[in-house]
Structure 1
Amino acid sequence: MPMKRTVLSRRSFTLLAAAAVAVPALRAQGRPEKRRVSIAVGGKAAFYYLPLTISEQLGYFKAEGLDVEIADFAGGAKALEALVGGSADVVSGAYEHTIHMQAKKQFVQSIVLMGRAPQIAMGVSTKGIPNYRGLADLRGKKIGVSAPGSSTNMVANLVLSRAGIQASEVSYVGVGTSAGALAALRSGQIDAMSNTEPVMTMLEQKGDVRIVSDTRTLKGTQEVFGGPMPAACFYTRADFVKQNPNTCQGLANAIVRGLKWLQTAGPSDIIKTVPESYLLGDRALYLASFTRVREALALDGLLPEDGARTALKALASFDPTVKPERIDLSRTFTNDFARRAKEKYKA
């Protein structure tokens, strides 16, 4: 029996085409599958996580229909443990953890980028090692990091490995990312430190440290890593992304909106928005730190593919458990949510 041909009018075709385009958009803006979301972060007061604080303080998560509960840990490695253990839905942490986890055959995925440079500096105590001549002087020394296994630890490992120093030749000490880190270095508990802002600028401007490696700027990051290096992001389990796309979209929307706010925010805006405790008792130095790392903040939440390759190359250079040929970078991040958020807020 011959098939009956259906002829569409131009108007009908236009309406159908519009409907086809509208479906994904409606789905992307649907109600969150999971309204209450627990977020783990390692050192929330650091500028590394400023977009998270801004989006929280300005009510951007609530505007997306999300009730977020943020648990602050000493470092990124501890925040990751919360995700693996099931006490957190999402981590606000360093992108490279997605690669480390895949090397262990566990899949976690970045859904929105907050930082396009690590914002981590490594400094040697001017009091503990007054006659510092080079990285070789750090053999046998104690190096402070936010927490063992964190991004600050990763940067220290990379810097030392390029000088021929193995991780086993130094001792890493977890000192957090705020007042405790300042006290640890000034009291002589550690000989050097790899940490984030505002801690490192505060130590540097007071003459407590001599900076030996710096990724607080895009130029410094290029020099240390040889390319763009993605930093803070929201990452979560791959199955959570599949089961909660609207929730992930809401999280990405809130962060991208925060990033857009940060592009035009002045010093007084920052001071008014962040909690007083984040200033560590010195507003001027806090703002000096912000000025130094401002360009390191992401612009639109998108993670660059060449940045993912840089991260993999860096990790593989000192971590024998990371085999580049066994890592599928396309499974470590998605830009789908950030693209939609960017369109929504024109970031």
Structure 2
Amino acid sequence: MQRRSLLTGAFGAAAALALPTAVRAQGLEKPRLTVAVGGKNLLYYLPLTIAESLGYFKAEGLEVTIADFAGGSRALQAVVGGSADVVSGAFEHTINMQAKGQAMRAFVLQGRAPQIVLGVNPKTFAGFKSVADLKGRKIGVTAPGSSTNVMVNFVLAKAGIKPSEVSIIGVGAGSGAVAAMRAGQIDAISNLDPVITLLQRSGDLKVVSDTRVVAEADRVFGGPMPAGCLYAPQAFLDRHPATVQALVNAMVRANQWIQKAGPSEIVKAVPESYLLGDRAVYIDAFLASRPALSADGLFPEAGAPTALRALQSIDDSLKGGRFDLAAVFTNDYARKALARLPKA
């Protein structure tokens, strides 16, 4: 009986993945699309990788091409330039783009905290005592203008340091970032896992601020700070509602799977290159980051105001402006996805 139940469950799962695909594809306005991401190997974007590797996009009738860039700002440029349809990136970009007169809307959450860690290099910065000591130093970020850069600016602003008083260097989100720290090319780094855990393990990083810890992220930013998400031009959402819903269905399903999965399952589901040559480090990084990943794809209502305050604290041009924060995100698609998925 047990074997029969298992087989029945397996066939049922296969049918759920296979049968609806062709039917759903017929109702999609754009079954083939491109998602731009800045550092796909990062745990920040793990839901995107899982949705791809476990076939959740295909189950929704979607053929998704994921274009990987050195940082979130580069991924955003791809959508603005028309070479990609959707961004998998940091939530605050939607607010920045509204300030520039370009309507972007986030429609499913991947991370409920930024998961960005700011740390210093023990080799070149042995005398570090406080954030104020970063003045005049070289700080590595995934890419200039990315969320890792925003994090640096925000922490520096609290210490009275202007962005112009440090040197920001783009080092990417993988082995290049690790090499830059170990070679002493940068004095500090703002990056994410698995890069951070790998540097910690080897003694090449002293943590200054860790927003993988949700409580610390809330303290640093003064409230919930939405992080990784899928967002796109409002015009894309208007023209392709069924396609957007299919994307969200797949992402919410991935969010839920991650919260239940064991470390060994995660390692099997991601490409070998993501492990940076050390399976144990990746597992530790996953366990450190999982609490900061979204379980349901929903944006906190206080998230947009928190993000705006953070951006205004580092960019005077945003102060005094009028923002329609309700227009930079929506939970409608995630709620529909949750309603159709089995209860956790």
CA distance in 2, matches of 1:320, 1:255: 35
CA distance in 1, matches of 2:43, 2:192: 7
Runs of 4+ in 1 over 6 A off after TM superposition: none
Q: Structure 1 stretch 254-263 or stretch 315-324: which is displaced more?
A: 315-324
Report the counterpart of residue 185 of structure 1 in structure 2. Answer: 181
Task: Flag the structure with larger Rg.
Answer: 1
Query: Is 2:325 aligned against 1:329?
Result: yes
CA distance in 1, matches of 2:194, 2:67: 20
Residue 128 of structure 2 aligns to a residue whose secondary structure is coil
Report the counterpart of residue 261 of structure 1 in structure 2. Answer: 257
Q: Deviation per CA, 1:2-42, whole angstroms, max 9, x where unpaired? A: xxxxxxxxxxxxxxxxxxxxxxxxxx998110011100000
1:100, CA displacement in angstroms? Answer: 0.4
CA distance in 2, matches of 1:172, 1:274: 30
Query: Is 2:30 aligned against 1:38?
Result: no
Residue 117 of structure 1 aligns to a residue whose secondary structure is coil
CA distance in 2, matches of 1:205, 1:322: 39
Q: Deviation per CA, 1:157-176, whole angstroms, max 9, x where unpaired? A: 00000000000000111011
Report the counterpart of residue 133 of structure 2 in structure 1. Answer: 137
CA distance in 2, matches of 1:122, 1:291: 19
| Corresponding residue to 1:108 among 101, 104, 110 | 104
Report the counterpart of residue 268 of structure 2 in structure 1. Answer: 272
Residue 326 of structure 1 aligns to a residue whose secondary structure is coil
- The percentage of aligned residue pairs carrying the same residue is 59
Q: Is the 8 A contact 1:42 1:74 kept in 2?
A: yes
Q: Is the 8 A contact 1:216 1:292 kept in 2?
A: yes
For residues 243 and 324 of structure 1, do their structure 2 counterparts lie closer, same or farther at Cα, with a shift above 3 Å needed?
A: farther
Q: How do 1:241-320 and structure 2 match up within 5 A? A: 241-320=237-316
1:321, CA displacement in angstroms? Answer: 2.0
For residues 47 and 300 of structure 1, do their structure 2 counterparts lie closer, same or farther at Cα, with a shift above 3 Å needed?
A: same
Letter aligned with residue 258 of structure 1: A
| Corresponding residue to 2:142 among 132, 146, 149 | 146
1:113, CA displacement in angstroms? Answer: 0.5
CA distance in 2, matches of 1:313, 1:205: 34
CA distance in 1, matches of 2:26, 2:141: 41
**Superposed CA RMSD:** 1.3
CA distance in 1, matches of 2:157, 2:101: 25
Q: Deviation per CA, 1:135-173, whole angstroms, max 9, x where unpaired? A: 222111110000000000000000000000000000111
CA distance in 1, matches of 2:299, 2:173: 25
Q: Is the 8 A contact 2:25 2:31 kept in 1?
A: no
Q: How do 1:160-239 and structure 2 match up within 5 A? A: 160-239=156-235
| Corresponding residue to 2:86 among 90, 104, 129 | 90
1:318, CA displacement in angstroms? Answer: 1.0
CA distance in 1, matches of 2:302, 2:26: 32
Gaps of 5+ in 1: 1-27
CA distance in 2, matches of 1:114, 1:264: 15
1:344, CA displacement in angstroms? Answer: 1.1
Letter aligned with residue 297 of structure 1: L
1:325, CA displacement in angstroms? Answer: 4.5
Q: Structure 1 stretch 198-207 or stretch 241-250: which is displaced more?
A: 198-207
Q: Structure 1 stretch 295-304 or stretch 42-51: which is displaced more?
A: 295-304
Report the counterpart of residue 155 of structure 2 in structure 1. Answer: 159
CA distance in 1, matches of 2:41, 2:290: 15
For residues 216 and 324 of structure 1, do their structure 2 counterparts lie closer, same or farther at Cα, with a shift above 3 Å needed?
A: farther
TM-score normalised by L of structure 1: 0.90
1:323, CA displacement in angstroms? Answer: 3.1
